[in-house]
């Protein structure tokens, strides 16, 4: 049976302040949970149906009914298992390789997709502004499909971070230089701005080169690209170059 205290704890973790207080976050679904179980992120406890338990009994597990799982799940269709994992300690950032910086990304789906893109393109450091959506938000975790288990995400003051680093800083700006004609450094920072306003004026001042994805629509009917789509195109160009 799921106790009242367990129910209260799990449902409270849907809010950022309680995730920070308990240093725990929720992962749901067989595929995503299994990805985290295979990672270095520490498991607190699994809550699962009996059929999942029969194939994963080696972990700290509590069997619950499908009805109990539905009561604590954030999914419209609960999927056999819910795990509580400990939030990893922040890493110390260095200035090597390609680093992606996000300035006020608000949509959980976009952040989750960007984390998956970092995993795909081998970006090992993701730096977010403090007002970017929490990467341990349940919707973000689900959208990463397990990639969050392999990518450290750091939240920091971007002005302080960018002022102290010596790498070239590329920023996605509507009126920037055509990315297809830009010579790109191997070790660099790529800054992506918010869905509605782009890169903020304060952060734009730290850019050493402004880049853009050219529009081929002759009618100019499309105003902009989704930030996750734009990130995919730009990361592809950085890796291709």
The dihedral region occupied by 129, where left means phi > 0, alpha psi between -120 and 50, and beta the remainder, is beta
What local confidence, expressed as pLDDT, does residue 64 receive?
93
Sign of CA dihedral 213, 218, 224, 228: negative
Of residues 181 and 222, more confidently modeled? 181
The predicted structure's pLDDT at residue 58:
66
Q: What is the pLDDT of residues 127-158, one digit of tens each?
A: 999 999 999 999 999 999 999 999 999 999 99
Residue 57 pLDDT > 60, yes or no? Answer: no
Query: Using 50, 70 and 90 to split pLDDT, how confident is the model at 84?
Result: very high
Q: Which residues contact 44 (CB under 8 A, 6 or more apart)?
A: 24, 60, 83, 84, 85, 86
pLDDT at residue 19 is higher than 90: yes
As a whole-number percent, the residues of the chain with pLDDT over 90 amount to: 81
Say if CB 109 and CB 145 are below 8 A apart.
no
Q: Domains of the chain by range and CATH?
A: 4-86 (3.30.1330.30), 98-240 (3.40.1280.10)
Residue 70 parent element (H or E): helix 66-72
């Amino acid at each position: 049976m799921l106790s009242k205290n367990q129910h209260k704890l799990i449902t409270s973790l849907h809010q950022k302040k309680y995730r920070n207080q308990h240093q725990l976050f929720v992962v749901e679904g067989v595929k995503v949970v299994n990805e985290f179980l295979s990672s270095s992120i520490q498991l607190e406890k699994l809550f699962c149906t009996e059929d999942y338990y029969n194939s994963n009994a080696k972990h700290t597990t509590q069997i619950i009914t499908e009805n109990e799982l539905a009561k604590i799940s954030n999914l419209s269709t609960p999927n056999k298992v819910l795990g509580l994992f400990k939030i990893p300690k922040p890493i110390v950032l260095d200035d090597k390789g390609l680093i992606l910086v996000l300035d006020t990304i608000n949509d959980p789906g976009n952040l989750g997709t960007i984390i998956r893109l970092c995993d795909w393109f081998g970006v090992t450091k993701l730096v977010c502004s403090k007002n970017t959506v929490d990467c341990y938000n349940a919707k973000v975790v689900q959208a990463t499909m397990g990639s969050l288990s392999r990518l450290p995400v750091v939240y920091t003051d971007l002005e302080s971070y960018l002022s102290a680093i010596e790498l070239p800083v590329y920023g996605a700006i509507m009126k920037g230089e055509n990315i297809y004609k830009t010579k790109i450094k191997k070790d660099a920072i790529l800054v992506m701005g918010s869905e509605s306003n782009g890169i903020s004026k304060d952060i734009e001042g730290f850019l050493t080169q402004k880049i853009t994805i050219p529009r081929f629509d002759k009618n100019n009917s499309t105003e902009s690209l989704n930030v996750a789509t734009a990130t995919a195109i730009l990361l592809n160009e950085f890796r291709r170059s």
